[in-house]
Structure 1
């Protein structure tokens, strides 16, 4: 099987050609380098032949390094871009980026109260354009942002929505049942998918990550394998852990998954959601 990693960042120490955004310095880049070549050195031995690249915060709204990578390797990569979600006409920028291999846009509460983070006009326009062009709204959120997302999904039911990293449940080491239920309740929206990812950062944060199994089982029961996708969140997965340890949780550790389930989670869901014309 050729896998798809649904979430990896890349950046380059070449800040002359790819300058950092205001407020960032080279010291913020940890690790100091994770170029596309370094990603390829991780992914290829693990059987991963395609990756969804996520714009890195170091670059702000300048998506050029990601876009240049997609142009160089169009068969390997698509992108999730970051634009100004408070802009007056974000759909203009979205349309341009779609032509350059972008199939999603990362959104997050930013400077808004979490209970109203999706109320601004720019984000509403992004959701509307996402429905029109089948562009994913990729949410980097905690569970306290789900009520607002639930409301917006009801208003824009045709907009594809992706929730990153199991909604970051367990980043403090505790997996709370109420938070898992809140994530599972979002399965009522048929265009919502979830990234089963960033295992290094959740729960006990220790391979083989089997403590995450009960949460993943609940999310699997709610969404089904066709709406779950595996991802590493590289390079952070490979700072202290390995790429293969992330894959092996899905491949070998979760006995409730069938071979067909694994194919969906490791490839087919991301292929349907992100890799399409």
Structure 2
């Protein structure tokens, strides 16, 4: 089966050329203890049988400096696309987005509003000051990955989806639904967001691990999410090396959780959706 990894991170060992400038002022533990560079990711992809991957900016290592993902994309345009982190609140955010995603630039952007080094969920991604950014993203058709947690900022996400129905948003890690607490409740929480056709889901180990642990109860989450969103709005990503497993193990994890999903839908999750979100990926 064709597999595209829509979410892996790279960190260079060359601190002089690519100095660390983590968002929030603190590196995540994985970035400090088990970094993988572009060559390492390429080797792991070969081992796992993955032809192409989307390099998502390691925000907790480089902040808004997207140099390394862009340089790595330029070195292997047949293997990689680059998604970088941007600041939607800067005064020239719209113009900056246009320049950043121009020829040879980013294929998508990421807003890091909550994470290991930013424990408090930010609401700034939906502030009025961000509207010029969202308007331009809509005009350009750029996929915007949104790293956030459902619950603390769901209302802001819904307001944004309503205000900018043409903005293509990809929710990193499905917004961290509380699958371990209740697969059924978590599935209902995510499924109700499907009424917004511009919202897509990124399925990673953050959700797959608790689903695997849930066993037969995983269907209480997967069934309503797949029924409401459709596989054509869900894309798989490894989250390597933030995920501690090897890339083949992460692929196996996803395949095991999705084993009961029809093969045609699996093809969408593992590759088809990615190609629509990022047209630069070769078919």
Give the TM-score range, shorter chain. 0.7 to 0.9
Match of 1:170? 178
Distance, in Å, in 2 between the alignment partners of 1:82 and 1:228 is 21
Match of 2:261? 257
| Contact kept? 1:209, 1:249, Cα under 8 Å | no
Match of 1:215? 221
| Secondary structure of 1:193's aligned partner | strand
Distance 1:175 1:54, change over 3 A: farther
The partner residue of 2:239 within 208, 224, 233 is 233
Match of 1:138? 145
1:92 is displaced (CA, Å) by 1.7
Distance, in Å, in 2 between the alignment partners of 1:103 and 1:267 is 16
Distance, in Å, in 2 between the alignment partners of 1:199 and 1:243 is 14
Distance 1:216 1:43, change over 3 A: farther
Match of 2:67? 64
Match of 2:278? 274
The partner residue of 1:183 within 190, 210, 215 is 190
| Contact kept? 2:31, 2:242, Cα under 8 Å | no
| Contact kept? 1:146, 1:183, Cα under 8 Å | no
Distance 1:164 1:132, change over 3 A: same
The CA deviation string for residues 183-238 of structure 1, in whole angstroms up to 9 with x for no partner, is 211111112110111248852776x977645423321111111111111101122x
Match of 1:98? 101
Greater shift in the superposed pair: 182-191 or 20-29:
20-29
1:84 is displaced (CA, Å) by 1.8
| Secondary structure of 2:42's aligned partner | helix
| Contact kept? 2:3, 2:51, Cα under 8 Å | yes
Distance 1:33 1:261, change over 3 A: same
Distance 1:83 1:266, change over 3 A: same
1:73-152 aligned at under 5 Å gives the runs: 73-99=76-102, 100-109=104-113, 116-144=123-151, 145-152=153-160
Aligned residue pair count: 273
Q: So what's the TM-score if we normalise by structure 1?
A: 0.87
Match of 1:4? 4
Distance, in Å, in 2 between the alignment partners of 1:163 and 1:184 is 13
| Secondary structure of 1:30's aligned partner | helix
Q: So what's the TM-score if we normalise by structure 2?
A: 0.85
1:30-49 aligned at under 5 Å gives the runs: 30-49=32-51
Distance, in Å, in 2 between the alignment partners of 1:271 and 1:209 is 30
Structure 1: unaligned runs, 5 residues or longer: none
